[in-house]
């Protein structure tokens, strides 16, 4: 019996993006909680899961994905890149973040943080928030932050210095 039109493999790249290998599924299950928490620090809790989903689908669908050596760092970088893209491209999401920023809830998942500190953190750039979060909430060294974000040590140092200066300015 000859194969029908539904039996042949599709050449559609979008359909191929939805097929994950068992190793991708295991990596997803392992890293999803920490990447979602990371995404929440960048865009707030309302957009964290959407940002994570877009980043991971983009990474898994990328033709470069099979050749990526450090997949964890690559996924962290994808989350940061998608956060930048989201921030630039959607005014509606930015307006929603401003409304959320006015709420007295903590976006970083920690309790007992002074609301003025949270308000100051919301005024940092996404990269600066990422570096602050990984340095102070995750207790990583600057070298570890650079590895996690797949960035240079000098870039992390510069972002951390700028974030500290901005926070000092906002909180004084």
97 within a domain of the structure (yes/no):
yes
**Does some domain include residue 136?**
yes
In a domain, 7, yes or no: no
pLDDT in tens, 146-172: 999 888 999 999 999 999 999 999 988
Q: For residue 62, give both structure tokens.
A: 């990328």
* 112 belongs to a structural domain: yes
Residue 82: phi and psi, rounded to 5, are -70, -30
The answer to whether 107 and 45 have CB atoms below 8 angstroms apart is yes
Indicate whether 16 belongs to any domain: no
Q: Is the pLDDT at 132 greater than 60, yes or no?
A: yes
In a domain, 17, yes or no: no
Residue 103 lies in a domain: yes
Residue 39 in any domain: the answer is yes
d(CA 153, CA 7): 51
Residue 101's pLDDT is what? 55
Mean per-residue pLDDT, 125-132: 90
Question: pLDDT tens digits, residue range 99-126?
Answer: 555 555 444 444 566 778 888 888 999 8
Range of the domain at 97: 22-171
Total structural domains in the chain? 1
Q: In this structure, what CATH number is given to the domain that contains residue 160?
A: 1.20.140.160
| Exposed/middle/buried for residue 105 (C-beta within 10 Å: 0-12, 13-18, 19+) | exposed
Note the pLDDT tens digit of each residue in 9-29. Answer: 445 544 444 556 778 888 888
Per-residue pLDDT band for 5 (boundaries 50, 70, 90) equals: very low
Which residues fall within 8 angstroms of residue 87, CB to CB, at 6 or more apart?
43, 93, 94, 126
């Amino acid at each position: 019996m000859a194969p029908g039109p539904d039996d042949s493999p599709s050449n559609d790249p979008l359909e191929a993006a939805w097929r994950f290998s068992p190793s991708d599924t295991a990596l997803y299950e392992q890293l999803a909680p920490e990447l979602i928490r990371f995404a929440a620090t960048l865009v707030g809790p309302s957009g964290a899961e959407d940002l994570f989903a877009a980043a991971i689908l983009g990474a898994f669908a990328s033709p470069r994905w099979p050749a990526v050596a450090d997949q964890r760092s690559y996924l962290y970088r994808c989350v940061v890149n998608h956060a930048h893209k989201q921030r630039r491209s959607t005014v509606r999401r930015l307006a929603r973040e401003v409304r959320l920023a006015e709420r007295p809830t903590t976006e970083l998942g920690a309790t007992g943080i002074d609301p003025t500190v949270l308000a100051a953190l919301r005024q940092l750039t996404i990269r600066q928030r990422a570096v602050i979060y990984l340095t102070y909430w995750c207790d990583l060294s600057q070298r570890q932050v650079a590895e996690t974000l797949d960035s240079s040590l000098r870039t992390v140092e510069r972002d951390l210095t700028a974030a500290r200066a901005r926070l000092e300015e906002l909180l004084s």
